[in-house]
Amino acid sequence: MVIFDRDGVLIVDHGYVAQIERLEWVSGAKKAVAELNAAGVAVIVATNQSGVARGLFDMEAVARFHEAMQADLALEHGRIDAFYVCPFHPDAVVEAYRCADHPDRKPNPGMINAALADFQVAPGRAIVIGDKPSDIAAARAAGVASALFTGGDLGDFIASQRLPWL
């Protein structure tokens, strides 16, 4: 199982992205997802979406954005097997999403633990690929390997990890 952060790893982080016209893939990301799918590896997204808590967009907009991602991936014979979204934030303006330390909000491991349980994957057969220290901390808290993606071609980056189960 490969668990990706979304913004800054699969797609370019333009800041609070939920508008389909702002969807821009990181180099090599669509091909990398399709190759993981072809290898029988579950591909998961675990993403903090504080824009929901900040009132910039709602969960329906996030779902439509993820549908657009899936449509793009389908053109490459790829798919995301599941999206785990945490809309909670300690400084939320939307009261329903205000939470000081939600268990799903990275660096907490809630989304990762849920993915492992839902797909019945042992932590030793998963990796989190993120672009922030909070992604790496969440992986560590879940007992999962991690890799910090700092840019470039995502497929090349995944290949450089030499994952024995790929």
pLDDT digits (tens, 9 = 90+) for 102-130: 999 999 999 999 999 999 999 999 999 99
Q: Which residues of the chain have pLDDT under 70?
A: 165-166
Global pTM reads: 0.96
Residue 140, in any domain of the structure: yes
Residue 165, in any domain of the structure: no
Most distant CA pair in the chain: distance in Å? Answer: 44
Distance CA 8, CA 26 (A): 8
DSSP state of 123: G
Distance CA 148, CA 110 (A): 19
Q: What is the structure's pLDDT at 52?
A: 98
123-76-50 Cα angle (round to 5): 55
Residue 144, in any domain of the structure: yes
Torsion of CA 164, 35, 1, 141, to 10 degrees: 90
Residue 14, in any domain of the structure: yes
Residue 139, in any domain of the structure: yes
Distance CA 59, CA 39 (A): 31
Kindly give the residue spans of alpha helices, DSSP state H, lying in 39-132.
Answer: 50-53, 59-74, 110-119
Residue 72, in any domain of the structure: yes
Residue 87, in any domain of the structure: yes
Q: What are the residue numbers of the active site?
A: 5, 7
Residue 166, in any domain of the structure: no
Work out how many domains the chain is built from and give that number: 1
* Structure tokens, 90: 């300690």
Q: What is the structure's pLDDT at 162?
A: 85
Query: What's the domain range around 34?
Result: 2-160
CATH for 24: 3.40.50.1000
Q: What is the structure's pLDDT at 87?
A: 98
